[in-house]
Chain A
Amino acid sequence: MMSVYIKKKYITTFSSFTKFEFSMQNFSNPSLALDEIPRHQNLELLQVNPGFKTIMLIERTILLLVLFSGFTIAVFYFHVTTKPLLIVGGYLLLGALLGVLLFTAGKAFSNMGYALRKHDLVFRKGWLFEKLHIIPLKKIQHCQVKRGPLERSFGLASLKIFTAGGAGADITLSGLMQTDAERLKDWLVITPGETLNPTPEADATAMG
Chain B
Amino acid sequence: MQQQWDKPRRPSPVIFLTGFVEAAKESVGYIFLAIVSTYFRKNSEGRDNNLIEKFSWLMVGSFAAVIILKFQKIFAWFFTLYWVESDKVVLKKGLLVKRQVELPFEKIQTIQLHQTMLHRLTNTCALTMDTAGSAKAEFVIEALNMDDARSLQQWVRSLQKDVPKQENLVVDPVAKPLLSLGVKDFIKLCISENHLKSLALIATFIFSKAYDYSDQLGFDFKGFLTNQSTGSAVSIWSISMLLSFALFIAIIFSSIRVILRFYDYRLRQSNLAFEMSWGLFTRHRKTTPFSKVEFITWWSSWIRRKMDLYLLRLHSLAESETVQAMHIQMPVTSKAMLAHITNIYMPAMPSESGIEPTGIQKAIFFRKIIIIAFPITIVAASVAWFYVQWHALWVLLWLFYFILSEYSFYRNYRIWITEDALQISRGIWGREQVVIYLPKIVSVTLRTTPFQRKNGYANLELHLPGKIWVIPYLKKEQADYWADYITLKIEYDELKN
Pairwise interchain contact B496-A165, C-beta atoms closer than 8 A: no
Pairwise interchain contact A165-B442, C-beta atoms closer than 8 A: yes
Q: Which of A91-99, A128-136, A175-183 is found at the contact surface with chain B?
A: A128-136
Assembly CA distance A119 to B488 (angstroms): 9
Query: Is B485 engaged at the interface, CB distance under 8 Å to the other chain?
Result: yes
Given contacts A31-B419, A136-B490, contact A166 B484 (CB under 8 A): no
Given contacts A22-B495, A130-B448, contact A164 B487 (CB under 8 A): no
Pairwise interchain contact B442-A132, C-beta atoms closer than 8 A: no
Pairwise interchain contact A40-B448, C-beta atoms closer than 8 A: no
Contact with A along B349-375 (1 / 0, CB 8 A): 000000000000000000000000000
Pairwise interchain contact A132-B484, C-beta atoms closer than 8 A: no
Work out how many contacts link A and B, with CB atoms closer than 8 A.
Answer: 95
Query: Is B173 engaged at the interface, CB distance under 8 Å to the other chain?
Result: no
Assembly CA distance A144 to B369 (angstroms): 42
| Residue among A18, A31, A130, A165 making CB contact with B447, cutoff 8 Å | A130
| Residue among A22, A29, A37, A196 making CB contact with B484, cutoff 8 Å | A37
Query: Is B160 engaged at the interface, CB distance under 8 Å to the other chain?
Result: no
Given contacts A29-B419, A166-B463, contact A138 B494 (CB under 8 A): yes
Give the distance to chain B from A118, nearest Cβ to Cβ, in Å. Answer: 9
Pairwise interchain contact B465-A165, C-beta atoms closer than 8 A: yes
Is chain A's interface secondary structure helix, strand, loop, or mixed overall? loop
Contact with B along A145-170 (1 / 0, CB 8 A): 00000000000000000011111001
Per the CB 8 Å criterion, the residue count for chain A at the interface is 35
Query: Is A78 engaged at the interface, CB distance under 8 Å to the other chain?
Result: no
6 interchain residue pairs of minimum CB distance? A165-B465, A138-B494, A135-B443, A165-B466, A119-B491, A132-B446
Pairwise interchain contact A136-B443, C-beta atoms closer than 8 A: yes
| Chain A residues with CB below 8 A from B447, complex form | 129-132
> Which range contains the number of B residues in contact with the other chain?
20 to 34
28 residue pairs of the A-B complex, CB under 8 angstroms, read A17-B492, A20-B492, A27-B496, A29-B420, A32-B488, A34-B481, A39-B484, A40-B484, A119-B494, A119-B495, A131-B446, A132-B445, A132-B446, A133-B444, A134-B483, A135-B443, A136-B443, A136-B487, A136-B491, A163-B442, A163-B443, A163-B463, A164-B442, A164-B465, A166-B442, A166-B463, A166-B466, A170-B463
| Chain B residues with CB below 8 A from A20, complex form | 492
Interface residues of B in 428-484 (CB under 8 A from A): 442-450, 453, 463-467, 480-481, 483-484
Give the distance to chain A from B106, nearest Cβ to Cβ, in Å. Answer: 12
| Chain B residues with CB below 8 A from A90, complex form | none
Pairwise interchain contact A164-B480, C-beta atoms closer than 8 A: no
